[in-house]
Structure 1
Amino acid sequence: MAETARPTHPLSIDEAWAFTAERASVTTFFFDFDGVLSPVTDDPDASQPVPAVLGVLERLATVVARVAIVSARPVSFLRSRFETLEHVDLYGLYGLEVWHDGEVVTEPAALEFVPAMARLAEQARAELPGEILVEYKRLSVALHYRVAPELAATVERWAHEQAERLGLRIQRGRMVAELKPPVDQDKGMVITEGVRNAGCAWYFGDDMSDIKAFDALRAREAVDPGFFGMAVAVANPETGAEVSSAADLTLDSPDAVAAFLTDGLRRF
């Protein structure tokens, strides 16, 4: 039987699943964590994947070539939430860390910034208002102002000053400014590399950094007529409109993501 021609965007969900099922052996599914597999919480340490996620990801990994989580979280955090998953790769800190086949690989160029990040986290706790939650991630420092949105300008100004002083980069997200090493690595680059030998890929995201991943799928389609990429946004009140406008499909919540995948698995 001849393979179905690659569908064009926009397309129906049925078309997307049919094409994916036909090419399951060369398909990769990528997921962000916060806001996609887990609700966003005031305290980042309290975040947990929604109950149905673990089972559905494990089942998905048995029918497609690869499943991976691509997150701003460190691999250590992701491992603590997904330790029962045996066949899911983890990209932490926008790809600066990778968990694959039981090992963590860290981008060497970022390692020299570990001491500076530890000092920066302590400085942030001392200098910023107490309402700001400082999340130290070994290779980056995230400044969360979710419980005090009126302090956004204060956080942004402080982050900009430290980035200038230390030669760091700023990654902005949902009620957060994150300082990270000046190393060329982001979700778009992870996906560009991750789909190099794929025939089909899906990416589920909810924040500004995920748009680069969507763009990577589009770029691969542009140079490979046999490749199909599906960009899925997850709705939220902060960055939802911009992310949805760059996606093929928008789902309502992490629970909706799990339900969507459960339904999709019936097509294989």
Structure 2
Amino acid sequence: MAETPRPTHPATADHAWARTVEHASRTTFFFDFDGVLSPVTKDPSASQPVAEVPAVLERLAARVGRVAIVSARPVDFLRSRFAGLEHVDLFGLYGLEVLHEGEVVTKPAALEFERPMAELAAEAQDALAKPVFVEYKRLSVALHYRECPERAAEVEQWAHERAERAGLAIQRGRMVVELKPPVDQDKGMVITEALRDAGCAWYFGDDMSDIKAFDALRAREAVDPGFFGMAIAVANDETGAEVSSAADLTLASPAAVAAFLTEGLTRF
């Protein structure tokens, strides 16, 4: 049987699915959570995956080599949203945490920041009045200004001052600025490491941090002619243009992601 022609970029969905089916056992699907598997909510603690998502991820995991969620959320949060999934890997806090054999494993270099982040979260609660939402993630603190976009400059300035004072890193996102440990870790690095034995991979993202994951797919293709990567953006009015310009295909919403995967599974 002749091998399916290798798609060029931008690849069509049909070509990408054909490539995936042919190399299913060596294919990995990666997904961001917020804005991809779940609609973005004003209260980040209220986010839930689209109703169809858990079942479709489990079905997908039975067809391909690996399925993983790579998120800025802590692993414990992701585990609470996908408690019934047995075959989906969880990478939290941009890869600072990973769920491995039922245990959360943390990058050792980040552990010393656990107490400082708790203190920083308390300081932010006192300094930034609601409706700024302070999200404490154990190893990072995210400051959400979705309900008060007019305060973006104030929140950004506060975050930068604290980051400079404490030697922390800054990560921007959709109506949020996050303070993180100065540990060299991002979604692109997660993907690079996870792709070592893969022949094909998809990444679904909606925010600026996801572009590094797209770049990791392209970098692997550049050095391995037998590898194929598919970068999928999920549309939004905040970072959608930048993310879509770096992707092969754009889907309209998290619900559209679930529908796209459901349709794709019929090809196996």
Normalising to structure 1: TM-score of the pair? 0.99
The reply to whether residue 66 of structure 1 matches residue 70 of structure 2 is no
Instruction: Specify the code of the residue in structure 1 equivalent to 2:56.
Output: V
Deviations 1:228-265 (A, max 9, x none): 00000000000000000000000000000000000000
Question: 1:50 aligns to what?
Answer: 50
Cα separation, 1, equivalents of 2:226 and 2:101: 29
Deviations 1:33-72 (A, max 9, x none): 0000000000001000000001000000000000000000
Cα separation, 2, equivalents of 1:207 and 1:76: 21
Instruction: Specify the code of the residue in structure 1 equivalent to 2:180.
Output: K
Secondary structure of residue in 1 paired with 2:63: coil
Give 1:203 deviation, angstroms: 0.1
Q: Would you say the 8 A contact 1:25–1:63 is kept in 2?
A: yes
Q: Would you say the 8 A contact 1:234–1:250 is kept in 2?
A: yes
Give 1:129 deviation, angstroms: 2.3
Cα separation, 1, equivalents of 2:177 and 2:67: 28
Alignment of 1:131-170 (within 5 A): 131-170=131-170
Secondary structure of residue in 1 paired with 2:38: coil
Secondary structure of residue in 2 paired with 1:188: helix
Instruction: Specify the code of the residue in structure 2 equivalent to 1:6.
Output: R
Question: 1:127 aligns to what?
Answer: 127
Instruction: Specify the code of the residue in structure 2 equivalent to 1:27.
Output: T
Give 1:11 deviation, angstroms: 2.0
> Please, which runs of 5 or more residues in structure 1 have no aligned partner?
none
Runs of 4+ off more than 4 Å: none
Question: 1:221 aligns to what?
Answer: 221
The reply to whether residue 11 of structure 1 matches residue 11 of structure 2 is yes
Cα separation, 1, equivalents of 2:209 and 2:56: 25
Cα separation, 2, equivalents of 1:225 and 1:242: 27
Cα separation, 2, equivalents of 1:226 and 1:26: 12
Secondary structure of residue in 2 paired with 1:203: strand
Cα separation, 2, equivalents of 1:146 and 1:174: 8
The reply to whether residue 204 of structure 1 matches residue 201 of structure 2 is no
The reply to whether residue 187 of structure 1 matches residue 191 of structure 2 is no
Q: Would you say the 8 A contact 1:6–1:227 is kept in 2?
A: no
Secondary structure of residue in 2 paired with 1:33: coil
Give 1:131 deviation, angstroms: 1.6
The reply to whether residue 39 of structure 1 matches residue 39 of structure 2 is yes
Give 1:6 deviation, angstroms: 1.9
Alignment of 1:249-268 (within 5 A): 249-268=249-268
Instruction: Specify the code of the residue in structure 2 equivalent to 1:145.
Output: Y
Larger deviation, residues 207-216 vs 4-13: 4-13
Report sequence identity in percent. 79
Cα separation, 2, equivalents of 1:248 and 1:260: 14
Give 1:7 deviation, angstroms: 1.1
Give 1:13 deviation, angstroms: 1.0
Give 1:4 deviation, angstroms: 2.0
Normalising to structure 2: TM-score of the pair? 0.99
> Please, which runs of 5 or more residues in structure 2 have no aligned partner?
none
